[in-house]
Amino acid sequence: MRVAVTGGGGFLGSHLCEALLRRGDAVVCLDDLSTGRPENIAHLRKYPAFQFIHADVSVVADVPGQLDAVAHLASPASPPDYLRMPLQTLAVGSRGTENALELARRTGARFLLASTSEVYGDPLVHPQEESYWGNVNPIGPRSVYDEAKRYAEAVSFAYHRTHGVDVGIVRIFNTYGPRMRPNDGRVVSSFIAQALGGEPLTIYGDGKQTRSFCYVSDLVRGLVAMLDSSETGPVNLGNPEEWTVSDLADLVLGITGSDSEVQYHPLPVDDPVRRRPDIGRAGAHLGWHPEVPVELGVRRTVEWFRGRTCDDVTGES
CATH of the domain at 31: 3.40.50.720
Report if residue 98 sits inside a domain. Answer: yes
3-state secondary structure (DSSP) of residue 140:
coil
Are 129 and 185 in a shared domain? no
CA distance 188 to 281: 26
Contact (Cβ atoms closer than 8 angstroms) between residue 114 and residue 262: no
Are 149 and 253 in a shared domain? no
Are 109 and 149 in a shared domain? yes
Asked whether the whole model's pTM tops 0.85, one would answer yes
Give per-residue pLDDT as tens, 63-109: 999 999 999 999 999 889 999 999 999 999 999 999 999 999 999 99
Report if residue 80 sits inside a domain. Answer: yes
Q: CB-based contacts of 309: which residues, under 8 Å, 6+ apart?
A: 317
Structure confidence at residue 309 (pLDDT): 54
Q: Which residues are catalytic?
A: 145
Burial of 58 by CB count in 10 Å (0-12 exposed, 13-18 middle, 19+ buried)? buried
How many CA atoms lie within 13 Å of 308's alpha carbon, on the beta-carbon side?
A: 25
Structure confidence at residue 214 (pLDDT): 98
Mean pLDDT of 119-131: 95
CA distance 275 to 245: 11
